[in-house]
Amino acid sequence: MYLFLSDETNTTQSDTVQFLIFGAMVIPMENAPAAVKEVLEIRQCHGYPPGSEFKFDTRSKPNNPATTSAPNCSTLLPN
């Protein structure tokens, strides 16, 4: 069994925005706990408080100085 996670942006067409971006990832269920742990570590590293949106859209970023001056967390990303 797999976990399928997806997100989209620009779902409302307007005169200035005429595109849709859709992203997804598929994770084997046995890897889901490790993936959740890594996402939580990335959120914490960049200053996202629990329960805040963690979206592709940078306008949803928390108004928090830690999110703009966070340390380099690239070591948390898989190779």
Asked, for residue 15, whether it belongs to a domain, the answer is no
Query: Considering just the CA atoms, what is the radius of gyration of the chain in Å?
Result: 15
Asked, for residue 76, whether it belongs to a domain, the answer is no
The pLDDT value recorded for residue 53 is 75
Report helix, strand or coil for 73: coil
C-alpha pair distances (Å), 3 with each of 37, 50, 59: 15, 22, 27
Asked, for residue 49, whether it belongs to a domain, the answer is yes
The pLDDT value recorded for residue 71 is 53
Asked, for residue 41, whether it belongs to a domain, the answer is yes
Looking at the DSSP bridge assignments, the partners of residue 4 are 26
* Domain total in the chain: 1
The domain in which residue 54 lies consists of 1-7+22-63
> Is residue 27 within a helix (H) or strand (E), and if so which, with residue range?
strand 21-28
Going from the first residue of the chain to its last (79 residues), give the mean pLDDT of each consecutive group of 10, the final group possibly shorter. Answer: 84 72 89 89 82 67 54 53
